[in-house]
Amino acid sequence: MKLKYFVVLLLLFYFSFAQSQSFDTDEIQKRIDNMSLHDKIGQLNQIDGRGSLDDLKELIREGMVGSVMNITDPQVVNELQTIACEKTCAKIPLIFARDVVHGFRTILPIPLAQAATFDPELIKEGAKIAATEATEHGVKWAFAPMIDISRDARWGRIAESFGEDTYLTQKMAVAVVEGFQGNSLSNKTSVAACVKHFIGYGAAEGGRDYNTTFIPERIIREVYLPPFEQAIKAGCASLMTAFNSNNGIPVAGNKFLLKELLHNEISFKGVTVSDWGAISEMITQGFVEDRKSAGEKAINTGVDMDMSSKIYIQFLEKLIEEKKVKESTLDSAVYRLLKLKQALNLFQYPYTDTTKPKETFSKNHLDIAYKIAQKSIVLLKNERETLPLSATVKKILVVGPLADSPHDQLGTWNMDGEEDKTQTPIMSLEKLYGNKVKIQYIKGLNYSRDADKSQFSEIKKEALDVDVIIAFVGEEAILTGEAHSMSDLNLQGVQSELVTELSMLGKPLVTVIMAGRPLTIEKELNCSNAVLYVWHPGTMGGPAIADILFGKTNPEGKLPVTFPRNVGQIPIYYNHYNIGRPATGKEKTIQEIPLNARQSVLGHSSYYLDSGSIPLFPFGFGLSYSQFEIGNLKLLAKNLNKTDTLIICIDITNKGRFAGSETLQLYTSDLVADVVRPIKELKGFIKVFLKPDEQKNVKFTLPISSLAYWSSDMKYAVESGKFKVFVGQDSQSGMEDFFTVK
Ligand code: BGC
- In percent, the amount of the chain with pLDDT more than 70 equals 96
Q: Answer for the pair 480, 516: CB distance below 8 angstroms, yes or no.
A: yes
Looking at residue 19, its pLDDT comes to 39
Supply the pLDDT for residue 225. 98
Q: How far is the CA of 286 from the centre of ligand 1 (A)?
A: 22
Whether the CB-CB separation of 686 and 698 falls below 8 Å is answered with yes
pLDDT of residue 16 exceeding 90, the answer is no
Q: What pLDDT score does 11 carry? A: 43
Distance CA 126, CA 175 (A): 9
pLDDT of residue 4: 54
Query: What is residue 183's predicted lDDT score, i.e. its pLDDT?
Result: 97
Tell me if 276 CB under 6 Å of ligand 1. Answer: yes
Mean pLDDT along residues 695-715: 98
Q: Which of 39, 275, 304, 404 is catalytic?
A: 275
Q: What is the pLDDT of residues 620-629, one digit of tens each?
A: 999 999 999 9
pLDDT recorded at residue 8: 44
Position 18 pLDDT exceeds 70: no
Q: How confident is the model at residue 24 (pLDDT cuts 50, 70, 90)?
A: low
Q: How does residue 335 score in pLDDT terms, banded at 50, 70 and 90? A: very high
Cis bond leading into 299, ω under 30°? no
Give yes or no for residue 362 having a pLDDT over 60: yes
Tell me the pairing of strands 194-198 and 238-241.
parallel
Given a cut of 70, whether residue 164 has pLDDT beyond it is yes
pLDDT at 3 over 70: no
Question: Mean pLDDT over residues 197-204, rounded?
Answer: 98
- Average pLDDT for 203-210: 98
**pLDDT for res 602:** 86
Query: What pLDDT does residue 60 have?
Result: 98
More confident position, 8 or 659: 659
The partner residues of 112 in beta bridges, in order of sequence, read none
pLDDT at 534: 98
pLDDT at 14: 42
pLDDT band at 727 (very low <50, low <70, confident <90, very high): very high
Can you give the pTM of this predicted structure?
A: 0.96
**Mean pLDDT score across all residues of the chain:** 95
Q: How far is the CA of 275 from the centre of ligand 1 (A)?
A: 6
Query: For 556-579, how does the pLDDT look when each residue is reduced to its tens digit (9 = 90+)?
Result: 999 999 999 999 999 999 999 999
Average pLDDT over residues 512-520: 98
- Output the pLDDT for position 25: 54
- 243 alpha carbon – ligand 1 mean position (Å): 10
Radius of gyration of the chain from Cα atoms? 27
Instruction: Tell me what percent of the residues of the chain surpass a pLDDT of 90.
Output: 94
Sequence-separated (6 or more) residues with CB below 8 Å from residue 583: 605, 606, 607, 612, 613, 614
CB of 413 sitting under 6 A from ligand 1: no
What angle, rounded to 10 degrees, do the helices at 166-181 and 120-136 form?
40
Instruction: Please give the distance, rounded to the nearest whole angstrom, from the Cα atom of residue 319 to the centre of ligand 1.
Output: 27
| pLDDT number for residue 408 | 98
Confidence band (pLDDT; 50, 70, 90) for 71? very high
Query: Per residue in 438-458, pLDDT tens?
Result: 999 999 999 999 999 999 999
**In the predicted model, is pLDDT for residue 6 greater than 80?**
no
**Whether pLDDT at 10 is above 70:** no
Choice from 276, 281, 307, 413 to test ligand 1 binding pocket (greatest atom count within 8 A of CB): 276
Active site (annotated) includes residue 416:
no
Contact 380, 525 (CB under 8 A): yes
What is 138-197 written as a DSSP string?
T--EE---B------TTSGGGGGS--S-HHHHHHHHHHHHHHHHTT-TTSTT--B-EEEE
Is residue 273's pLDDT more than 50? yes
Q: Look at residue 244 and tell me whether its pLDDT is greater than 90.
A: yes
Which protein residue's CA is at the shortest distance from atom 8 of ligand 1? 275
Q: Which of 275, 279, 413 to mutate to test the pocket of ligand 1 (most atoms within 8 A of CB)?
A: 275
Ligand 1 pocket mutation, candidates 68, 143, 281, 485, criterion most atoms within 8 A of CB? 143
pLDDT for position 22: 41
> Is residue 111 within 8 Å of residue 162, measured between CB atoms?
yes
Q: Is the CB of 268 under 6 A from ligand 1?
A: no
**Residue 358: predicted pLDDT:** 84
